[in-house]
Amino acid sequence: MRGWHITLALIIVLLVAGCSSGSGNTGGNKAGSEGGAEGERQTAVIEPKKVEVADLRDGVKMMSSLTKDFKQAVEADDEKQRKELVAQIAGVWEAIKADLKVQSADTYPTVEGEMAEFLDSASGDKIDKELVIQQDYKLYQRFRDLGKALEQQPQV
C-alpha cells in the first residue's frame, strides 16, 4: 500500500513540474523570439516602421514598390537595406490590413498568410535568400494584382 502512495506522489510531482515548466516555456519562447535567439517566430523581431498611407490603393502601390526594392537589396546582399525594407513592408502592412480585410475579404486570408510567412522568413539576421526572394515575388504579384483590381473599383 505504501508503494502506491509513493508512485502517486511521484506522478503528481512530475505533472506539476511538467505544467510549471510548460508555462515557463511559453514565456521563454516569447522572450526568445523577441530577442531573436529562437528564430521560430521572427516576426516579433520586426519593429514595423511607422508609414503614412493615404488609403488602401496607396498602400498597395507602396507594397509593390517596396517588395521590388526588397528583392534588389537581397540580391545585392545589402543587409542594412533589407532590414529597413522589411520594417517598411511590415509598417505598410499594419496600415492597410484592416482596409484590405474589408474591401477584399475573399483575398485577405491568403495575403495575411503569405505576409506572415514572408515577414517570418525575411526578418532574421540569417535568411534563406532563395526562399525570401520567392516569397517576396509572390507578394509582389499579389499586390500588383490587388492594385489592378482596386483601380477598376470606383474610389470611395
Compute the distance between CA of residue 152 and CA of residue 47 in angstroms, rounded to an integer: 33
Using alpha carbons, select from 143, 53, 125 the residue that is nearest to residue 86: 125
- What are 30-48's pLDDT values in tens digits? 333 333 333 333 343 578 8
**12 shares its domain with 73:** no
88 with 144, same domain? yes
The verdict on 59 and 125 lying in the same domain is: yes
How many domains in the chain? 2
pTM exceeds 0.85, yes or no? no
Q: Is there a single domain that holds both residue 67 and residue 135?
A: yes
State whether 24 and 92 are in the same domain: no
Assess whether 94 and 82 both reside in one domain.
yes
The whole-number pLDDT of residue 47 equals: 83
Q: How confident is the model at residue 12 (pLDDT cuts 50, 70, 90)?
A: low
Q: What is the pLDDT of residues 75-97, one digit of tens each?
A: 999 999 999 999 999 999 999 99
126 phi, psi to nearest 5 deg: -110, 125
Are 106 and 129 members of one domain?
A: yes
Whether residues 28 and 94 share a domain: the answer is no
Distance CA 42, CA 21 (A): 23
What residues make up the domain containing 76?
A: 42-152
Task: Please tell me whether residues 85 and 104 are part of one structural domain.
Answer: yes
Cα separation, 112 vs 101, in Å, equals: 9
